[in-house]
Amino acid sequence: MNLKELAGIINAEVISDVDLGEINIPYAYACDLMSDVLAFCSPGSLLLTGLTNIQIVRTAQMLDLPAIVFVRGKIPLEETVTLARESGIPVLLSKFSL
């Protein structure tokens, strides 16, 4: 499934200017503990989290994650969005929970 299709399913607001149709999502990992993400998340997975700090993007960079979905209506910090844009990592917002 591509990220554009997935964004429609979860009614996500996209706050990136990346073509979501070009990003394939083979897996997803939902977690609020970055230590668990680092230990168990497979590279290429979509990350769903309620954490909004800049470490989320750093973790996504380390694991080569294609995108981040912030859940529960959380709004990421501006520095988080800025780093994600600079890194080419799409950011999506969803009101759904993990």
Domains parsed from the chain with CATH numbers = 3-93 (3.40.1390.20)
Which positions ≥6 away from 34 have C-beta within 8 Å?
A: 51, 55, 56, 59
Given the structure tokens 């997975």, which residue do they identify? 45
The reported pTM is 0.95
Tens of pLDDT, residues 8-61? 999 999 998 888 989 999 999 999 999 999 999 999 999 999 999 999 999 999
Q: Residue type for 56, please?
A: I
Tens of pLDDT, residues 50-97? 999 999 999 999 999 999 999 999 999 999 999 999 999 999 999 999
